[in-house]
Structure 1
Amino acid sequence: MAEAAMAAPPDGDGDGDGDECLPRYRHLLCPDLLAGQVAFITGGGSGIGFRIAEIFMRHGCRTVIASRSLQRLAEASKKLVAATGQQCLPVSIDVRQPQSIAAAVDEALQEFKRIDILINGAAGNFLCPASALSFNAFKTVIDIDTMGTFNTSKVLFEKYFRDHGGIIVNITATLSYRGQALQVHAGAAKAAIGGKFAEQSKQFSAIPLQRAGNKTEIAHSALYLASPLSSYVTGTTLVVDGGSWLTSPNSFSALLDVWAAGANQPH
């Protein structure tokens, strides 16, 4: 009984398919935990970034969601505002281009006058053997995940954090720009790859919690790192994967099967 309770996600925090706000939400922390603050979230228009924006906004935070597709961001912003009642500014950005980041940060500061939290969530990934990865594909991953994280952190540091302070949380990225940077490794969010197929094929049986993680659980981890609850935590990596890094074999063929099943499902 205790093991079943531990393995189940918190009530009301399950994620459906697509980028929609949670139909219901039960606050586990005080609703005004981030009241008055502003978060700048790259990759905030979809996936984990979208859920982080929603959870932050449900705790009183205003957000800036940034990615390349302004139309997609505008749609995401409407959903987030309707669900939370907080302000959300969509801005077009390419993290590979520092001038694009600078313009977006300027727009955010003009709108909100402050930025307290940076979530580096923009990422590009290709699930395939290294032998099948093109030179350009590998460069794209490095440019977005590594250089993009550095670029955004550096621009925000120079434009605001150097004089006012701030918190940086990197999602899946491995680079921290300054001492106050924090990292979340979101490796457990495998539910996004393959969905029900992954569960049916028992791909999660080796994970101690016996299931995939969901976007809300990753967002709650980011909420902890961005809040006063972690005021004496810095320069660390919070691994959010249900313990799979301790027990799970790196079965590449199994992961490819899961990915293929997810890729073939209608979106």
Structure 2
Amino acid sequence: MNVQFDFSGRHAMVFGGTTGINLGIAQAYAHAGARVTVVSRKQANVDAAAATLGERGLGLVADVRDEPAVAAALAQAVASQGPIDVLVSGAAGNFLAPAAQMSANAFKVVVDIDLLGSFHVARQALQHLRQGAASLIFITAPQSTVPMAYQAHVCAAKAGVDQLARVLALEWGALGVRVNAISPGPIEGTEGMRRLAPQGEEGAALVRQMVPLGRMGTTGDIAQLAMFLGSDAAGYISGTVIACDGGAQGQLSPMILAAADGALKKT
């Protein structure tokens, strides 16, 4: 059963909001009455996502690694949709690779998207957040706290995202900006699961075995948490990293190892 939220008259902006978890969040906010802006670097994805958001939806193209492009997208969104009540920073990159075989550039790409991109979004958005009543939500990952083989780049980047969220909560709280992060577990039907989990029913069964609740999550599970954090009900919650994972965050290494074993055998 979903909790019903009302975001009528509010503006939610989701970076990376054209696919997977982030699109689910954007669609949930739109369904709850918000004006929603999604931002991604691929025009086709932006167009497809914006078409699902109704007449109050807006799609913009920007790469979070490009700070001027992020600033321009924010300015355009606010000019069209008004000050930002809820900002979700969810753009991310990932792939399986042993650290010894990962180039410095490959490592840098993920850090630039996940960590530097998160900073760009937050820093450039501050002036556009609704004064005294805004919510900033980062999308992190269990790799931020659980070391996982073949994930050195993501572990490093997401650990930085967690700390960025905590620091901004300290610095921006006096401005009325609440800052939190969501750490999703295995979410079915996402690009992350296609990249990081063994495929087929056997792979799905392995993943379910690692989740104490016995199932993979849905984009709706994450969207409900994002709406809670963006709502007045979470008005005294800031500086937290909240797992939405069915209890599985410390137990996902076998999934990564199985996926990596299959991928490495193909190369």
Smaller-chain TM-score bracket: 0.7 to 0.9
Identity value in percent: 29
- Paired residue for 1:187? 185
Equivalent residue for 1:28? 3
The residue that corresponds to 1:250 in the other structure is: 253
Cα distance in 2, alignment partners of residues 51 and 143 from structure 1? 24
Q: Which structure dedicates a bigger proportion of its chain to helix?
A: 2
Letter in 2 for 1:78: A
Who is 1:178 aligned against? 168
Superposed displacement of residue 149, structure 1: 0.4
Total equivalences in the alignment: 229
1:197 aligns with 2:201: yes
**In 2, are the aligned partners of 1:191 and 1:198 still within 8 Å (CA)?**
no
Q: TM-score, normalised by structure 2?
A: 0.78
Structure 1 residue 234 corresponds to structure 2 residue 203:
no
Once the two structures are TM-superposed, the CA of residue 259 in structure 1 deviates from its matched residue by 6.9
Q: List gaps (5 residues or longer) in structure 2.
A: 141-160, 170-177
1:6-45 matched pairs, under 5 angstroms: 10=1, 27-30=2-5, 33-45=6-18
Contact 2:41 / 2:63 at 8 angstroms: preserved in 1? Answer: yes
The structural deviation recorded for 1:38 is 0.4
Distance in 2, Cα, partners of 1:199 & 1:213: 15
Letter of the structure 2 residue corresponding to residue 178 of structure 1: L
Q: Give the TM-score normalised by the residue count of structure 1.
A: 0.78
- Aligned counterpart, 1:55: 28
Write the mapping of 1:5-154 to structure 2, written as runs, cut at 5 A.
10=1, 27-30=2-5, 33-81=6-54, 86-154=55-123
Distance of 1:191 and 1:241 partners within structure 2: 15
Residue by residue over 1:78-118, the C-alpha shift from the partner in whole angstroms, topping out at 9 and shown as x without a partner, is 1221xxxx511111111111110111011111101211111
What letter matches 1:28 in structure 2?
V
Change (3 A) 1:120 1:143: same
Aligned to 1:233, the other structure's residue is in SS state: coil
8 Å contact from structure 2 (residues 27, 52) kept in 1: no
- Residue 165 of structure 1 and its aligned partner are, at CA, apart by 4.4
Distance 1:154 1:111 in 2: 20
- Counterpart of 1:178 in 2: which secondary structure? helix
SS in 2 for 1:99: helix
**3-state SS of the aligned residue for 1:253?**
helix
Do 1:198 and 1:204's aligned partners in 2 also have CA atoms closer than 8 Å? Answer: no
CA deviation map 1:228-258 (0-9, x unaligned):
1111111101101110125x26224223257
Counterpart CA distance in 1 for 2:216 and 2:97 is 21
Q: Distance in 2 between matches of 1:61 and 1:67?
A: 19
Pick closer, same or farther for the CA change 1:95–1:230 going to 2, 3 Å: same
Q: Give the SS at the match of 1:204.
A: helix
Q: Distance in 1 between matches of 2:263 and 2:118?
A: 25
Q: 2 CA distance for matches of 1:207 and 1:74?
A: 35
Query: What does residue 145 of structure 2 align with?
Result: none
- 1:180-201 alpha-carbon deviations (Å, 9 max, x no partner): 2110011332653246435554
